[in-house]
Amino acid sequence: MLPPETTCPVIVGDGQIALVLSDALTATSPKVVMWGPLEQAARELESKRTSTRLANFHLAEGVEVRVDDAHAMKGATLIFSAIPTQFLSAVWTRLAPWVEAGSYVVSVTKGIEIDTLRRPTQVIAEALVAAGRPVASVCALSGPSIAAELARRMPASLVAASTDPELAIRVQHILDVPWLRIYRHDDVIGVELAGATKNVIALAAGMIDGLNAGDNAKSALLARGLAEIARLGVAMGGKVETFFGVAGVGDLATTCFSPEGRNRTCGERLAKGEPLAEVLTSMKSVVEGVPTTQAVMQLARLHRVNMPITEAVHAILFEGLQPQQAIRELMGRERKAERVG
């Protein structure tokens, strides 16, 4: 047994997942610090205790919002990072000088950095190394986690993946609330890749919805999509079984089927004919799947992995392919044996 958690966890980010994390953390920690990258938004959250990002959510009493970088990071030894992928490097480069060396970072970001093809924990760890503040260890926390449900404390299961088993156990303890079940995991690569790539498949699932192609087609897409993201994951050093667990197929299923998913919704609107720029502008939050599709395409080429669904999504997003035509091609006439993983 671990001793009771005495540190004050710090949340980097003030978006949906950051908010629901703060709710869970205050159940086990008397005080939780929250920091947001945009001063005005953070000040508003501090004063109003609500956010336009998550309807009907009130910040718990134990959460202290800090806007000053140095003040937020002062004494932080367990940091939860909840920043969209493409801002991750900038945010952590900015914070790094104020972070103590030897801290522990738990990342909930789902994506791949386009320019460098790094996973979120790599981006964070490297920003801290560059500032001479190397982490003790990192953990990827992932799984089916629609924020609106977590905000209502509806039950969810997540995995805490770290090569440092003590950190994974610590995350299990600090998130030991009745509505969460945390599984330990050691495959950080697999968990982060699963969390990123499922958003690409969710865009395709949304397109199937937009075309009213039905749940049979969407479920087959889910299975074939799972096979192709698992192939990439294994080529990059992840474990195949990670993709068939809670953070793999579990997260993929909720992302493809929940009406609330941003990536699914984006795909649905694209298939109904809205231009990508218009969809992205009108959505309040970042649609991770769009930049992730570009990153995954590069990874597929680099690792010589066949990813027909990702290719189709890329062609629809960036090369003008019509979704209806893409489905016709994916359902194409070549008769094959099924190959998984």
Quick one: which of 38, 129, 283, 340 contacts a copy of itself (CB under 8 A)?
340
Applying CB under 8 A, the span of 58-66, 69-77, 221-229, 305-313 interacting with a copy of itself comes to 221-229
Find out whether 230 and 244 touch, Cβ atoms under 8 Å.
yes
State in angstroms the smallest separation of the CB of 245 from a copy of itself.
Answer: 5
Structure tokens at 296: 């995954």
Of 251, 268, 288, 311, the one binding a copy of itself by CB under 8 A: 251
Neighbouring-strand partners of residue 181: 157
What are residue 78's phi and psi, to 5 degrees? -125, 110
| Residue 237 token pair | 């050093």
Per CB under 8 A, 163 contacts a copy of itself: no
Q: Is 169 in the site for a copy of itself (CB under 8 A)?
A: yes
Catalytic residue among 110, 198, 218, 239: 198
CB 108 within 8 A of CB 119: no
Cβ 11 vs Cβ 25: under 8 Å: yes
Which of these ranges, 68-76, 120-128, 180-188, 270-278, lies near a copy of itself under the rule CB under 8 A?
Answer: 180-188
Shortest CB 24 distance to a copy of itself, Å: 13
The Cα 241–Cα 14 span in angstroms is: 32
Give the number of other CB atoms < 10 A from CB of residue 335. 5
Stretch that binds a copy of itself, among 36-44, 82-90, 108-116, 222-230 (CB under 8 A): 222-230
Q: Are 301 and 188 in contact (CB under 8 A)?
A: no
**Locus of tokens 């953390």:** 25
Is 198 tagged catalytic? yes
246 binds a copy of itself (CB under 8 A): yes
Report how far apart, in Å, the C-alpha atoms of 160 and of each of 105, 181, 280 are.
Answer: 12, 10, 30
Q: Does 141 interact with a copy of itself (rule: CB under 8 A)? A: no
Chain residues binding a copy of itself by CB under 8 A are: 143-146, 149-150, 152, 154-157, 159, 169, 172-173, 176, 178-179, 181-186, 212-220, 222-224, 226-227, 230, 241-246, 248-251, 253-254, 256-258, 260, 327, 331-333, 335-338, 340-341
* Catalytic residue ranges: 198
